[in-house]
Every structure is written in structure tokens, then in C-alpha cells.
Structure 1
């Protein structure tokens, strides 16, 4: 009986601390990365070591680690971590937990406010999915906001000369409900823009026939009297001057290769609803 009372008191204290940090992040309007996992208990010392491991992986971030014995649920909250960075870090944490023989299920990943407008709601959704069997090897569930309801599927034009990148992106974006059109160079991209009037263009800078810079200039010239379609640059050119020049030309966003597909998904959604 005393042991059960002690366990309930510990759970109550833990829930109170978790609720406090949830309110803190929401009230402060701070980005909060979240990782949840089913884990075996290895004592409080084990979770302190995990916290130090996360802090070493991401120096300077504030980390809170919670373990709920009754549900065997591990929760990690990390300040100033967006969804893409949280997902990337979750791969490392998953490997760490496996080596410690603590992981007992899949891993859930979310980020406030990208995954929803209430942290407790995101955590509940993450927990509900921990017992699901995933169809891919990573064993990680990424929690996203409910899909935007469009009057029609947004039209996306992908201008990319690398057939492998083009195919991977086309399949992924089509699965997200977008209407996808492809072009292999700037000249073909120009023709497709005239034909389909896309809502958003994703273009490489290094293109044959007509490069990305020329395509961007043409798009802006054609739409001087109306709202231009939004342009996202996805390029293997990593110089700061390229990024600066693109934003000066009116580009909406700039990403370099290799890139996080999760981050690209969210940047596209943000631009289409803004």
C-alpha cells in the first residue's frame, strides 16, 4: 500500500512538472521539439545520462526528460527545436536507447506549434501511435497538423535536372495531395509556368539551357502587375551569396542539398497557406 501511494505521488509530481513546461512553452510562444518512446525503466540515473547525451548532441538547448513508470512512456521536451531538427535528433536518440536496451516500441516525434496548437494534444497523439507497427525501417512516427483543406489541389512545378531527386520529390509531394508538374531545365520550366500557372515553383539554380536565376527573373517580370507564384530554391549551391541574391530577387525560401524532406514539407505548407 505504501509503495502504491509513493508511486501515485511520484506520478502526480511528474504530471505537474510536465504540465508546467507545456504551459510555459505555450505562454512564451516558444518552439518546442518533442520525442516520445515506449521504454523500459533503468532507474533515474539512466534518464539523467540520456539528458546529458541529448545536451551533448545539441549544445545550448534546454532539455526536459520525463519517464512515466505506469505507462512506460519516455518524453523529451527541447526548447527551440523545429520538426525537422527534432526528427533528425530522434534517429540518434533511438539508436542510443536501443544500445542501452531500453527501447520497447516505436518513437514519436512532434514540434509545437508545427504539429498542433496544444502541446498536451501533440503528446497524446504521439503516445497513441507508439504501439503502431510502421511500414518503414526508421520506426519513427512524425506528428503533423491535420491536412489543409484546399478548394483544389495546389499546383507545384518542380524544375530539377537530376532525375533521381526529381522522382523522389515528385512521389513524396504527390502523396501529400499536390498536383505535380516536372521540368528538366529553365526553358521547359518557363513553358510549364505559362501553361499551368502553378501556385509554387521549386527550382534548382544550376540548370541547363536556362539557369535558375534566369527563370526567377522571368517569373518576377511576368507578374509585375499581379501576385507572382511563390518560388522555393532547392539547390546544391551552398554559398551565402547565392542565398542573398535569391532573396533579393524575391524568392520565398531557400534550401540546400542534402535536405530534410520533413522540413521541405513544412516550408511548402507554410508558404501555401500564408
Structure 2
């Protein structure tokens, strides 16, 4: 069973994604801030992280830096950003740090599920 970590501080997004992913038989972990995201990723070794950028404590960019350089899963982790930061510079920064894709909010759950399945197949 594939493991997915959802990292977002918006309860409505967390609930919708958790429901949709569990329905697709993924094992789902939830983090509501960057510190919790790093801890859960290092403990549970997810296959993919759905990551917001603007969060309390540690932002998504820092979480991604950790995942891609210090985490036990740094060589295999897939990361998809979901963010309200929709300027070209924001998207370029996220991708240049190693994100596999960047979706802007609001986003379609169906589109995100398709993206997750695509990333996990690669």
C-alpha cells in the first residue's frame, strides 16, 4: 500500500484530500505544519508528499529542502506542491528545489489524484 503525507494547515483541504486518498486505498498521514511534516516523513517514509508552501513554523520550501537532502527517503520521495502562491517565480522556485509538480489553489481533487497516480507510477 502506497503511503502519502498531506501537509497543509487548511482543515477543509486536509479533510477532502484524506477522504479522496483513503477511498483510493492509500495509507494517509496528516501534518498541519512544517515541523510535523518533517517528523512524520522521517518516521513513516511516505512514497509521496502533497505539500503546501505557506504554513506555520516551517514553510513548504524548507520542508522540501529537508526531504531532498536530509531525509532517509531523499532519493525516492515524490513531492507535489499545492499552493495559493501562483506567481511564475513561486512555481519556478518550487520546481527548482526539487518538487515533481506544482498545482495552484484552488485545484481540482480529480486533477491532484491523477497527478499523484502519475508520480507514483514513475
- Partner Cα separation in structure 2 for residue 192 and residue 222 of structure 1: 14
Is the partner of 1:218 in helix, strand or coil? Answer: helix
2:25 corresponds to 1:188: no
Larger Rg: 1
Partner of 1:260: 108
Is the partner of 1:220 in helix, strand or coil? Answer: helix
2:71 corresponds to 1:237: no
Matches of residues 1-274 of structure 1 in structure 2 within 5 Å? 153-223=1-71, 227-274=75-122
The 3 A distance-change label for structure 1 pair 193 and 243 is same
Is the partner of 1:234 in helix, strand or coil? Answer: strand
Is the partner of 2:80 in helix, strand or coil? Answer: strand
Segments of structure 2 that go 5 or more residues without pairing to the other structure are none
The 3 A distance-change label for structure 1 pair 246 and 176 is same
Segments of structure 1 that go 5 or more residues without pairing to the other structure are 1-152
The 3 A distance-change label for structure 1 pair 207 and 156 is same
The 3 A distance-change label for structure 1 pair 187 and 242 is same
TM-score, scaled to structure 1: 0.43
TM-score, scaled to structure 2: 0.95
- Partner Cα separation in structure 1 for residue 74 and residue 41 of structure 2: 15
Is the partner of 1:209 in helix, strand or coil? Answer: coil
Task: Report the RMSD for the aligned CA atoms in angstroms.
Answer: 1.5
Is the partner of 1:170 in helix, strand or coil? Answer: helix
Q: Is the Cα contact below 8 Å between 2:95 and 2:101 reproduced in 1?
A: yes
Is the partner of 1:237 in helix, strand or coil? Answer: coil
**Which 4+ runs in 1 deviate beyond 4 A?**
223-226
Q: Is the Cα contact below 8 Å between 1:219 and 1:228 reproduced in 2?
A: no
* Deviation (angstroms), 1:194: 1.0
Q: Bigger relative contact order, structure 1 or 2, given CA contacts below 8 A and separation 6+?
A: 2
The 3 A distance-change label for structure 1 pair 220 and 175 is same
Is the partner of 2:18 in helix, strand or coil? Answer: helix
* Deviation (angstroms), 1:260: 1.1
